C-alpha cells in the first residue's frame, strides 16, 4: 500500500511591478498585460475592487487574504460601512481563452472614470487599473526629486 502525495503550492509573495497601457475594445473588454500575465500563467480568475479613483485587481487568493485583513481594521460603524461599500462592489472577472481579456463591468468603469485607455500599475500583490489622467502622478519623469530617499 502506498500513500499518494500531491504537491500543492501557492505563490504568496506575488510581486506585480511595472506599468502597461491598454485600450478597451468596443465591448468593454481589456487585455490583461502580458508582462503581468507571465507572472501568473495559470490564473484565469481575478477580483476587482473599487479604489481611490481607480480599481484594484487581485488574484482570488490575495483577495481572500486582503478581506481577512480588512475585517480586522476598525469596528466603528463608519469602518463597517466602508467595508460593505468596497466588498459589495467587488466583482470576479475571468480571462477569455484566446486573448487574455476580461470584461470591465460598467459600474466599475464609471467609478474609475475609465472610457477607452487604461493604465495597469503593478504594486506587489495588487494591480491598479486607472484612467490615464489619474495614473499621471505615478509616471516617472526626469524632473522627479528623490532627495531624502537615498536609502532606496
The answer to whether residue 79 scores a pLDDT higher than 90 is no
140 pLDDT band, cuts 50/70/90, is low
What CA–CA distance (Å, rounded) separates 48 from 58? 7
How is 89-150 classified by DSSP, letter by letter? T-EEEE--TTT-EEE--HHHHHHTT-SSEEEEEEEETEEEEEEHHHHGGGS--TT---TT-T
Whether pTM > 0.75 for this model: the answer is yes
Assess if residue 143 is contained within a domain.
no
Max mean pLDDT among 74-83, 122-131, 140-149 falls in 122-131
Residue 145 counted as domain residue = no
Tens digits of residue pLDDT in 5-34? 444 444 445 689 888 999 999 999 999 999
Task: Indicate whether 105 belongs to any domain.
Answer: yes
Does residue 117 form part of some domain? yes
Neighbours of 15 (CB within 10 A): 10
Has residue 10 been placed in a domain? no
Indicate whether 132 belongs to any domain: yes
Domain enclosing residue 97, as ranges = 16-137
Residue 30 lies in a domain: yes
The number of CA neighbours under 13 Å toward the Cβ of 13 is: 0
Cα separation of 4 and 127, whole Å? 37
pLDDT at 8: 42
Number of structural domains, the chain?
1
For residue 42, with 0-12 CB atoms within 10 Å meaning exposed, 13-18 middle and 19 or more buried, which class applies?
exposed
**Three cell numbers, residue 43:** 490564473
Q: By C-alpha distance, which of 47, 62, 126, 50 is closest to 89?
A: 50
147 assigned to some structural domain: no
Query: What CATH number did the domain enclosing 68 receive?
Result: 3.40.1550.20
d(CA 145, CA 149): 9
CB 59 within 8 A of CB 125: yes
Amino acid at each position: 500500500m502506498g500513500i499518494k502525495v500531491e504537491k500543492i503550492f501557492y505563490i504568496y509573495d506575488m510581486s506585480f511591478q511595472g506599468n502597461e497601457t491598454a485600450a478597451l475594445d468596443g465591448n468593454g473588454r481589456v487585455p490583461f498585460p502580458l508582462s503581468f500575465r507571465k507572472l501568473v500563467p495559470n490564473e484565469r480568475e481575478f477580483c476587482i475592487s473599487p479604489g481611490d479613483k481607480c480599481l484594484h485587481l487581485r488574484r482570488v487568493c490575495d483577495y481572500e487574504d486582503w478581506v481577512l485583513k480588512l475585517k480586522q481594521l476598525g469596528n466603528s460603524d463608519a469602518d463597517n460601512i466602508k467595508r460593505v461599500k468596497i466588498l459589495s462592489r467587488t466583482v470576479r472577472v475571468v480571462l477569455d481563452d484566446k486573448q487574455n481579456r476580461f470584461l470591465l463591468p460598467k459600474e466599475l468603469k464609471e467609478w474609475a472614470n475609465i472610457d477607452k485607455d487604461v493604465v495597469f500599475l503593478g504594486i506587489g500583490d495588487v494591480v491598479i487599473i486607472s484612467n490615464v489622467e489619474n495614473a499621471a502622478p505615478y509616471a516617472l519623469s526626469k524632473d522627479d526629486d528623490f532627495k531624502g530617499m537615498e536609502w532606496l
